[in-house]
Homo-oligomer: A and B are copies of this chain.
Amino acid sequence: MLTKPRRDNLSTQVTNNLGRWILSGKAQPGDVLPQEENLCTQLGVSRTVVREAVKSLAAKGMVDSKPRRGTIVRPKQTWNYLDPQVLEWLTQEDSETTLPLHLTELRKALEPTAAELAATRASDEDLLIVQSAYQTMANNTEDVEAFLAADLAFHIAILHATGNPLFIPIANVVQASLHASLRITNRTTKDNLLSLPLHKEIATALQARDATRARQAMLTHMEDTAGRLGNYRREL
> Which of A35-43, A142-150, A161-169, A184-192 contacts the other chain?
A161-169
Q: What residues on B are CB-neighbors of A169 within 8 Å?
A: 79-82
CA distance A192 to B51 in the complex (A): 45
B59 contacts A84, C-beta separation under 8 Å: no
Please give me the residue from chain B that is nearest to A160 by CB atom: B77
For A109, give its contact among B48, B58, B60, B109 (CB under 8 Å). B109
- What per-residue 1/0 map shows which CB atoms of A102-125 lie under 8 Å from chain B? 110110111001100100000000
Determine the main DSSP class of A at the interface with B.
helix
A11 lies within 8 A of chain B by Cβ? yes
A211 lies within 8 A of chain B by Cβ? no
Separation in Å of the A223 CB from the closest CB of chain B? 13
Given contacts A80-B82, A113-B108, contact A59 B55 (CB under 8 A): yes
Given contacts A59-B60, A60-B59, contact A106 B52 (CB under 8 A): no
Q: What residues on B are CB-neighbors of A167 within 8 Å?
A: 106
Please give me the residue from chain B that is nearest to A87 by CB atom: B166
Residues of A153-201 whose CB lies within 8 A of B = 156, 160, 162, 164-169, 171, 173
